[in-house]
Amino acid sequence: MISYEDETRKKAESIYRKREDACINSYCSTENLALSILAFPNFREELTKKLKAYERTNKNLFLEIKGEGKCTFSKNNETTNLNVNKSLIINISSDGNINIRINCTENITARFFYSFENLTKEIGMKSGKSIVFERESKHCWGEGFKDECKEKETSLALLALKISKELDDVDKALLWLKNNSRSYEAKAVLYYLSKDNETLNELLNSQAEEGFWLSNNSLETTAFVVFLLRNEEKARNAVLKAEEWLKSKELPTEQLAFVLSFAFPATEIEPILSIWPGLIKTKSKGSFNLILNNKNIDTIVNLTLLNSTTNLTLKKEMKTVKFQMPTIKTVDGKPILSKILISYRNSLDDKTYFYEVPVIIFTEKSNQSYVGEINITEELLNRSKIEEIVNESKRLENETVNINESIISSKFYFAENNISVNLTKDTETVKEIYLRNEFEKDLFNIEISKSSNLIGFVEIVPNYIERLKAKEARKVILHIKGFSLGKREGMIKATASYDSITIETSIPIEIEVKEGLKSCSEMNGVECSDGYYCDENLGSLKIASDTDMCCVPASACKKVKTKSLGIAIIAFLIAILLILLIFIKRKSKREMKDYLKEISEKYRTRTF
What are the pLDDT digits (tens) for 284-313?
Answer: 888 888 888 887 677 888 999 998 999 988
β-strand partners of 390: none
- Band (pLDDT 50/70/90 cuts) for residue 75 is very high
Give the closest residue to 194 by CA, choosing from 213, 176, 171, 160.
Answer: 171
List, for residues 433-444, the tens digit of each pLDDT value. 999 998 888 888
How far apart, in whole angstroms, are the C-alpha atoms of residue 193 and residue 187? 10
Q: In this structure, are residues 401 and 363 in contact, taking their beta carbons and an 8 Å threshold? A: no
345 and 300 co-located in one domain: yes
- Band (pLDDT 50/70/90 cuts) for residue 30 is very high
Measuring CA to CA, how many Å separate 205 from each of 79, 155, 186, 208, 236? Answer: 55, 21, 16, 8, 14
List, for residues 370-400, the tens digit of each pLDDT value. 999 999 999 887 766 766 777 766 666 555 5
For the chain, the residue count is 608
| Whole-number pLDDT of residue 274 | 64
- Band (pLDDT 50/70/90 cuts) for residue 605 is low
Task: Confirm whether 145 is domain-assigned.
Answer: no
369 and 429 co-located in one domain: no
Task: Confirm whether 194 is domain-assigned.
Answer: yes
Give the closest residue to 325 by CA, choosing from 290, 354, 273.
Answer: 290
Q: In this structure, are residues 58 and 137 in contact, taking their beta carbons and an 8 Å threshold? A: yes
308 and 426 co-located in one domain: no
Measuring CA to CA, how many Å separate 216 from each of 219, 247, 463, 492, 525? Answer: 9, 19, 12, 22, 54
How far apart, in whole angstroms, are the C-alpha atoms of residue 58 and residue 137? 5
Residue 600 has pLDDT above 50, yes or no: yes
- Band (pLDDT 50/70/90 cuts) for residue 460 is very high
DSSP for 156-199, written as a single string: HHHHHHHHTT---SHHHHHHHHHHH--SHHHHHHHHHHH--HHH
Q: Among 479, 514, 549, which residue terminates a domain?
A: 514
112, burial (CB in 10 Å: exposed 0-12, middle 13-18, buried 19+): buried
DSSP for 494-542, written as a single string: EEEEETTEEEEEEEEEEEEEEPPPPPTTTTT-EE--SSEEE-TTT-EEE
Specify the range with the lowest mean pLDDT, choosing from 196-205, 243-252, 538-547, 556-565.
556-565
Which amino acid makes up residue 322? K
| Whole-number pLDDT of residue 7 | 60
Provide the CATH number for the domain around residue 443. Answer: 2.60.40.10
Strand ranges of the sheet holding 328-330, from the earlier edge strand across to the other edge:
364-365, 328-330, 370-371
| Whole-number pLDDT of residue 468 | 92
Task: Confirm whether 571 is domain-assigned.
Answer: no
Give the closest residue to 194 by CA, choosing from 219, 213, 177.
Answer: 177
Total tally of structural domains belonging to the chain: 5
Full residue range of the structural domain in which residue 533 is found? 526-559
275 and 322 co-located in one domain: yes
259 and 283 co-located in one domain: no
Task: Provide mean pLDDT across the span 212-228.
Answer: 89
**Residues of the chain with pLDDT > 90: what percent?**
28
How far apart, in whole angstroms, are the C-alpha atoms of residue 401 and residue 75? 70
259 and 325 co-located in one domain: no
How far apart, in whole angstroms, are the C-alpha atoms of residue 68 and residue 86? 6
List, for residues 510-552, the tens digit of each pLDDT value. 998 887 778 888 888 999 888 888 988 888 888 887 888 899 9
Residue 315 has pLDDT above 60, yes or no: yes
SS3 for 393?
helix
Which amino acid makes up residue 127? S
Task: Confirm whether 244 is domain-assigned.
Answer: yes
| Whole-number pLDDT of residue 178 | 86
Q: Which helix (H) or strand (E) holds 88?
A: strand 78-91
What interhelical angle do 151-163 and 30-39 show, nearest 10?
30
- Mean of per-residue pLDDT scores for the chain: 82
DSSP E strand stretches across 93-246 = 98-116, 119-135
Task: Provide mean pLDDT across the span 389-413.
Answer: 60
Q: Among 216, 237, 269, which residue terminates a domain?
A: 269
How far apart, in whole angstroms, are the C-alpha atoms of residue 376 and residue 359? 15
Measuring CA to CA, how many Å separate 136 from each of 73, 86, 143, 145, 280? Answer: 19, 29, 18, 16, 57
499 and 389 co-located in one domain: no
Give the closest residue to 505 by CA, choosing from 541, 540, 474, 536.
Answer: 474
Peptide bond into 271 cis (omega under 30): no
Provide the CATH number for the domain around residue 335. Answer: 2.60.40.1940
Q: Among 485, 514, 543, which residue terminates a domain?
A: 514
How far apart, in whole angstroms, are the C-alpha atoms of residue 323 and residue 117? 54
SS3 for 205?
helix
How far apart, in whole angstroms, are the C-alpha atoms of residue 528 and residue 539? 12
Task: Confirm whether 595 is domain-assigned.
Answer: no
349 and 431 co-located in one domain: no
Task: Confirm whether 592 is domain-assigned.
Answer: no
Task: Confirm whether 474 is domain-assigned.
Answer: yes
365 and 454 co-located in one domain: no
How far apart, in whole angstroms, are the C-alpha atoms of residue 127 and residue 131? 7
- Rounded to two decimals, what is the model's pTM? 0.49
Q: In this structure, are residues 151 and 182 in contact, taking their beta carbons and an 8 Å threshold? A: yes
483 and 533 co-located in one domain: no
| Whole-number pLDDT of residue 407 | 52
Residue 180 has pLDDT above 70, yes or no: yes
| Whole-number pLDDT of residue 204 | 92
Task: Confirm whether 6 is domain-assigned.
Answer: no
How far apart, in whole angstroms, are the C-alpha atoms of residue 509 and residue 419? 5
- Cβ partners under 8 Å of residue 464, min gap 6: 445, 446, 447, 448
224 and 187 co-located in one domain: yes
| Whole-number pLDDT of residue 346 | 67
Measuring CA to CA, how many Å separate 598 from each of 575, 578, 604, 607, 608? Answer: 22, 20, 10, 16, 19
264 and 327 co-located in one domain: no
How far apart, in whole angstroms, are the C-alpha atoms of residue 578 and residue 458? 74
